[in-house]
Chain A
Amino acid sequence: MIGWIKDIYQTLFRFARFPCEPETVSVGNPDKSSPVLVTCNFDYTVRHLKKYLEKEQLDCFLLVVNTQGTNVWCAAAEGIFTTETVLAHLKVYNVKDLVDHTRLILPQLSVAGIKRKDLKEHGWEGIYGPVYFTDLKEFLKNGLTKTKEMQALEYGYWERFKMGLSHAVFCTLVCILPIFLFASDWWLQAIALVWYFAFSMQLIEHFIPFHRLLYKGLALTLPVLAIALFSVTDSVLRIQATIGIIALGAYIGYDAQGHSHLGQNQQSGKLFARIFASLALIYGGTLLL
């Protein structure tokens, strides 16, 4: 029951860090030849991975490396889940005495942070495992060989929905103050708009024919703008509503970079700043009308 509540909480606030204690765990009855699996200390991952390993009765050692509670993919990209952090863990927990081999099974998504060459220099052989830990049993059974399916990163609708939830919560927290400052009469509509953008940026972004997430966000403003322009009659309010909608669409599209693997290296910061500055100028002009 507690795990279930934790899952919801950690999904909603996925952008935050949820650390558990770094440790070396014996799962089942491992011996000197048992596999050594490596993961990060993101509580959500560790709980689910332990549960899976126990359920599948896989005898192994699980190294929960300190990534300050960040998940494998983000920690590797941010330089928190690195060769050094893994080597530090191996040293501190004296892992070389636990097993009579030097193989470490690393999460495939840690590839950006953990370099096999550097591990080798320290006497360890890093093997990237499957993308999803649910394939571990088969991977171990296959003699540490990955099938094509095990290497494929799926970004299905369930995963997109969970990311949408987290993104919506994050954007609501960021936008709540500006909404009450600039559109206090329309706060409910504005928050609904935040959720529309955040969910759309995850659930239907792949149907929008732009590469840059910022442009996808702007494209998502079009139907909302059409509704606003038809329903608002006051001309000043119409301009302000247009600015607000574009600003929200641009921001959430831009922010989706941090909530999607598609956004890596897009570097839309300058472009977003220019759009935002222009909108602020126009908004300032409307105050004189």
Chain B
Amino acid sequence: MDNTKINQEITSAFGLDTPPIAMSFVNDQPQGVESIEGEFPSFCTFWRIAEEKTFYAPADKHFNCPIGAMVLGFEMPKEVQEQLGGLVKKMCECSYLSEDEPANIPTLTEKKAGVVYGPLKDFPVEPELLLMWLKPSQAMIYNEVLGCCKWSGSMESMALGRPACAVIPSTLNNSTSGMSLGCTGMRTFTEISDEHILITLNCKEIDSFMANLATTISANKEMEEFYLDHKKNIKG
């Protein structure tokens, strides 16, 4: 299935306001993809820009966001490393993070030179990760598609907290998907509305995701019709 079709099916199945964006972590700037110009305050700022256009952001474009640079596993110059240390210290001192958390924040294990961002529909390289903004009702269906909300003996929540961008290495390193309720930083920089949460999908799983999507949508439609009927019949 090509990117345009995947984009179309996901957007219409979930009724997305903003179609998914894609990311790819690369060692060289792909031909025909322009480098982004300017200064950006955070890694997550790129996600909103990617809704409009495709671009390449080398590692140094992420250095205004030491946490983002860390989760992406970029090699950082000394001053950025020091800023990161200071930021983590501040986060711990004001109890935003507890002392045992920083060591467990996931980071991309493979070191790359930069990231290609852009709308999925005409993404120029093989996408590695999809990023979407979903409302809780849409996220419920998303979870069902992935089989994450099945009742089973071991229930593990998949909703992550802060930093929201850590959901990206968490998804790529060892998961099918990720969900973050959205940290304060992400909400400040992306200016995404409060009713949206951040969703990621590892593109390695795109085929099975697409295969389950139609079944889940139709199952939910059928149940919705049943509940509406039930509500109509038992109106007090």
Give the interface of A toward B (CB within 8 A). 21-24, 66, 68, 82, 84-85, 87-94, 97, 122
Q: With A24-B81, A66-B89 given, is the CB distance from A92 to B102 under 8 Å?
A: yes
Could you tell me the distance in whole angstroms from the C-beta of B199 to the nearest C-beta in chain A? 26
**A84–B105 touching, CB < 8 Å:** no
The B interface, classified by DSSP as helix, strand, loop or mixed, is helix
**B76–A91 touching, CB < 8 Å:** no
Q: What 8 pairs between A and B have smallest CB-CB spacing?
A: A87-B103, A88-B102, A84-B100, A88-B103, A91-B103, A84-B99, A92-B88, A66-B89
Report which of B82, B89, B99, B105 forms a contact with A91, defined as CB distance below 8 A.
B105
**A94–B81 touching, CB < 8 Å:** yes
Could you tell me the distance in whole angstroms from the C-beta of B66 to the nearest C-beta in chain A? 9
Residues on the B chain within 8 Å of A90, using CB: 103
Q: How far is the CA of A90 from the CA of B103 in the complex (A)?
A: 8
Q: With A84-B103, A88-B99, A92-B70 given, is the CB distance from A66 to B81 under 8 Å?
A: no
Could you tell me the distance in whole angstroms from the C-beta of B98 to the nearest C-beta in chain A? 8
Could you tell me the distance in whole angstroms from the C-beta of A102 to the nearest C-beta in chain B? 15
Q: How far is the CA of A88 from the CA of B101 in the complex (A)?
A: 7
Could you tell me the distance in whole angstroms from the C-beta of A14 to the nearest C-beta in chain B? 22
Q: How far is the CA of A93 from the CA of B82 in the complex (A)?
A: 8
Q: Does B84 contact A (CB under 8 A)?
A: yes
**B99–A82 touching, CB < 8 Å:** yes
Could you tell me the distance in whole angstroms from the C-beta of A124 to the nearest C-beta in chain B? 10
Could you tell me the distance in whole angstroms from the C-beta of A30 to the nearest C-beta in chain B? 14
Interface size on B, residues (CB 8 A): 19
Residues on the B chain within 8 Å of A93, using CB: 81, 84-85
Q: Mark B53-97, 1 if CB is under 8 A from A, else 0.
A: 000000000000000001000011000011011101100110000
19 A-B contacts (beta carbon < 8 Å): A21-B82, A21-B86, A23-B85, A66-B85, A66-B92, A84-B100, A87-B102, A88-B102, A89-B85, A91-B70, A91-B105, A91-B107, A92-B85, A93-B81, A93-B85, A94-B75, A94-B76, A94-B81, A97-B75
Q: Mark B1-26, 1 if CB is under 8 A from A, else 0.
A: 00000000000000000000000000
Q: How far is the CA of A262 from the CA of B99 in the complex (A)?
A: 29
Residues on the B chain within 8 Å of A122, using CB: 103
Residues on the A chain within 8 Å of B75, using CB: 94, 97
**B99–A92 touching, CB < 8 Å:** no
Residues on the B chain within 8 Å of A87, using CB: 100, 102-103
Closest to B100 in A: A84
Q: With A91-B105, A92-B84 given, is the CB distance from A22 to B99 under 8 Å?
A: no
Seed contacts A89-B85, A94-B75, A122-B103; 17 additional CB < 8 Å A-B pairs: A21-B85, A22-B86, A22-B89, A23-B82, A66-B89, A84-B100, A84-B103, A87-B102, A87-B103, A88-B92, A88-B101, A91-B70, A91-B102, A92-B88, A92-B102, A93-B85, A97-B75
Could you tell me the distance in whole angstroms from the C-beta of A267 to the nearest C-beta in chain B? 26
Give the interface of B toward A (CB within 8 A). 70, 75-76, 81-82, 84-86, 88-89, 92-93, 99-103, 105, 107
Q: How far is the CA of A251 from the CA of B85 in the complex (A)?
A: 40
Q: How far is the CA of A42 from the CA of B82 in the complex (A)?
A: 17
**A22–B85 touching, CB < 8 Å:** yes
Could you tell me the distance in whole angstroms from the C-beta of B225 to the nearest C-beta in chain A? 50
Q: How far is the CA of A122 from the CA of B84 in the complex (A)?
A: 21
Residues on the B chain within 8 Å of A91, using CB: 70, 102-103, 105, 107
Q: How far is the CA of A66 from the CA of B85 in the complex (A)?
A: 9
Q: With A82-B99, A94-B76, A122-B103 given, is the CB distance from A88 to B88 under 8 Å?
A: yes
Residues on the B chain within 8 Å of A97, using CB: 75
Among B92, B102, B107, max chain A CB count under 10 A is at B102
Closest to B84 in A: A92
Q: How far is the CA of A168 from the CA of B85 in the complex (A)?
A: 36
Closest to A19 in B: B89
Could you tell me the distance in whole angstroms from the C-beta of A170 to the nearest C-beta in chain B? 24
Could you tell me the distance in whole angstroms from the C-beta of B81 to the nearest C-beta in chain A? 6
Residues on the A chain within 8 Å of B84, using CB: 92-93
Residues on the A chain within 8 Å of B86, using CB: 21-22
Closest to A91 in B: B103
Could you tell me the distance in whole angstroms from the C-beta of A113 to the nearest C-beta in chain B? 11
Closest to A85 in B: B99
Q: How far is the CA of A92 from the CA of B85 in the complex (A)?
A: 6
